[in-house]
Amino acid sequence: MGTIVVTNLGKAYKQYPSRWSRLLEWIDLRRKPHHQLKWILQGVSFHIQPGETEAALP
């Protein structure tokens, strides 16, 4: 088994100015985005060696 390497992992959510903007994005034939990305995590990197585990915190 090899090492698991993760680099530059991130998570973003689509943020719409109104609920109608989401609907408009779905039906817009031009595929124009009506949202902005809200980044929650950026640049997360880690390595997991074979047999390595993380104990649960109490």
- Note whether residue 56 is domain-resident: no
List the domain range (segments joined by +) for residue 32.
4-48
In a domain, 53, yes or no: no
Residue 52, CB-side half-sphere exposure with 13 Å CA sphere = 10
State the pLDDT at residue 55. 66
**22: in domain:** yes
To the question of pTM greater than 0.85 for the whole model, the response is no
Residue pLDDT, tens place only, 2-48: 899 999 999 999 999 998 999 898 888 888 889 999 999 999 999 98
Count how many domains the chain has: 1
Query: Is residue 58 included in any domain, yes or no?
Result: no
At residue 57, does pLDDT exceed 80? Answer: no
Strands (E), 1-58: 4-15, 36-48
Q: Which residues contact 4 (CB under 8 A, 6 or more apart)?
A: 47, 48
* Residue 40 is assigned to a structural domain of this protein: yes
Residue 54 confidence (pLDDT)? 73
